[in-house]
Structure 1
């Protein structure tokens, strides 16, 4: 597509207007007409020469570009041309609405002695998820600069925006520094371990329950079983993507000061799952993830390694909340069939709905004997005991505090019901969520609960 430039309009006004005034006189009419036609002919010739100006130009972008939410990034654009002559070019990208950029377009020179030009396009992603770049717009001026030839070039690039883990990394700096494993080596391991290592002859002080009676009968002397502490365990993080996870995650202290928070509960769950993955990788454990809602969405079996962590991260960053309720029956049945080895299951869900909590208690019986289950949810802003808030100045505040007390009491009853089944239940604050989850995980390893 060809469009007029400002230079064409400027020269048209500068030439034709004086000539039209001169042409008002009968003696100069022919001269005025000739000058106008000459300018029009010049513009037509310039437009004709600009046809095919973008022919042979290719635009290439990386197949996959990774970003962190609310952190500045850049897109590398490579423009390849035939190098016939020097030319100026404007490049524009159709960025998704979730991206902000200080530039609407970039201008570059295509030199004749260099066939490739690289442009760096700064941008700031403001939403987590998967996006695509499919169109790039090009514009180059005509030889005289009176016209501009525009064209769109198809491109294919996937933009992946992951949660920003910098704040949580700072809170857990000791874990991610290569100076030990979060103090685990400085802590005494409790228990003798559960994983069989070898057989040896009986020594004074060995427990009778450790005697291997078959080997004793075969050899004719007492033989003892030796166990070692499990170093490699399976850890799964189960993320709830149902309708309650779409609610805003507001800190307790600033719930009233932030009427429109930018992060949802699901965002915090995903961040916590990725942090737990890093912690498990540092500890040498096998890490896996699962996402569930009205049905099972994602399941990545526990493994280890950087490539596997990347697979877990790619499975998490695209999750979006849905409108339905979680199906705990399908979740527990799925885990019962898929997970044969005893594992640590860290469930991130929302159980402040009485119907959902009752359903969860009924279905957790399928897996709580086989696996170690830790249930965690963000503390609702109003869930606290009565008389714990001194800022009550109206009848409305009184009713709100009473409702918060009833919710807190229901959550306490839920905790007692789960503890009776051997399931730990915790209410976490938004600021310390990742720290508390990692502490739970480290505590399980130290106490050899698996």
Structure 2
């Protein structure tokens, strides 16, 4: 009986009819001829209510529902969730579906309405975009069924409690992987760069194309074919590519729901996958006030799984980053010259200069690329016209910090250290572009 009461809900139409009957009975005290009409309507109402109750409750399993959720969700991406519905009633029903999604999404208005004919099936689909890694718990799926009479609703509750892990953006990684396999990286914004570097391993003789190095022209083959022919060399492979991720407090700053750390993690996952596809070795180092986890560069099967599992557990440590510890660690463990992509952030030129000695020492042994973030809020403020004295003051301060970001890039370049300043949402594309550019120039 308790289960019956918990599943029974009254509709707005029922309350409207009850109010109308009450008003009619009140008017019957003033106009006695209305009493008979009110009693007849009340009888009809009771019969309709009982009929509605019988229609909804005589079939114990009138509705079947199943939520389909991926085994893992991709952080920062739109993940598809679907709800499968079957109508076992002998009449068309109106459905309201409320899914108890994890509290991290802070959504309390996830309501879907639909109609189902007898024996009909339907799939309701929606998207969820998580912004934090970790474990998310789904609750029950509540389906409220209303008959054609529309006086009451019956709730079917399908307890599908399920915990789903949110991993770094593997959907983005797969998208870039498919583009790389089909040589369509330009569709995602990655620049197509002609390879101007070369190794000493000969591959083939081919026709000259504008942009080829004239020093590779094969004059004998040119004379035989009466057309410019060049020697093509195999691309150098199996270089070490390390992603160095700063987990200090500067990486906690949020942009569009994701922290800078999560942007760096997503970019690292994509870049590592592209590097392995290009026959390079991908590795990983995390650090903050001390060096965290180190995954030595490899290209064997299973390396991406290790990288994904390692990145899943990374959290901001909210402390000042120790770059001296990073330099000592690199000096100790990275014996071969490697490409180091260091994800961090600097808001002022002074903060960068404090770490410059360590960057210069690392750059002596490796090709170091420092990747830090453009403050998109400052850019939006600069593009907005200033009308009051206060707005002019704010805009002047914003211009100072915006200028310092670009000054950091120029100062690092003076010491032969490459830097990449990018908006958080463009980090992955910019990083992959930089890697492909360096690889095409034979710098790694």
Pick the TM interval, shorter chain.
Answer: 0.5 to 0.7
Q: Distance in 2 between matches of 1:307 and 1:248?
A: 31
Partner of 1:375 in structure 2? 370
In the TM superposition, what are the counterparts of 1:436-447 in structure 2 within 5 Å? 437-438=431-432, 440-442=434-436, 444-445=438-439
Gaps of 5+ in 1: 194-227, 250-260, 384-392
User: RMSD of aligned C-alpha atoms?
Assistant: 5.6
> How much does 1:146 deviate?
1.8
> How much does 1:105 deviate?
1.1
Asked if structure 2 preserves the Cα contact closer than 8 Å seen for 1:53 and 1:149, the reply is no
In the superposition, the TM-score normalised over structure 1's length comes to 0.60
* Residue of structure 1 aligned with 2:421, choices 428, 432, 445: 428
Change (3 A) 1:302 1:90: farther
The structure whose Rg is larger is 1
In the TM superposition, what are the counterparts of 1:28-177 in structure 2 within 5 Å? 36=42, 39-40=45-46, 43=49, 46-47=52-53, 50-51=56-57, 55=61, 57-64=64-71, 66=73, 69=76, 74-79=80-85, 83=88, 85-86=90-91, 88=93, 89-95=95-101, 98=105, 104-109=111-116, 111-112=118-119, 117-123=121-127, 125=129, 127=131, 131-141=136-146, 144-155=149-160, 156=162, 158=164, 160=166, 162=169, 176-177=183-184
Asked if structure 1 preserves the Cα contact closer than 8 Å seen for 2:349 and 2:407, the reply is no
Partner of 1:214 in structure 2? none
How many aligned positions are there?
382
In the superposition, the TM-score normalised over structure 2's length comes to 0.60
Partner of 1:358 in structure 2? 354
* Residue of structure 2 aligned with 1:233, choices 236, 239, 245: 239
Change (3 A) 1:185 1:123: closer
Change (3 A) 1:136 1:293: farther
Q: Greater CA deviation, 322-331 or 262-271?
A: 262-271
Change (3 A) 1:164 1:35: closer
SS in 2 for 1:105: strand
SS in 1 for 2:49: helix
In the TM superposition, what are the counterparts of 1:373-412 in structure 2 within 5 Å? 373-378=368-373
1:284 aligns with 2:293: no
Change (3 A) 1:185 1:145: closer
Change (3 A) 1:48 1:24: farther
Q: Provide Cα deviations, 1:272-331, integer angstroms capped at 9, x if missing partner.
A: 434533541442212233443345666555444897547646765886655322243554
Asked if structure 1 preserves the Cα contact closer than 8 Å seen for 2:374 and 2:405, the reply is no
Change (3 A) 1:80 1:262: closer
Gaps of 5+ in 2: 1-5, 203-233, 379-388
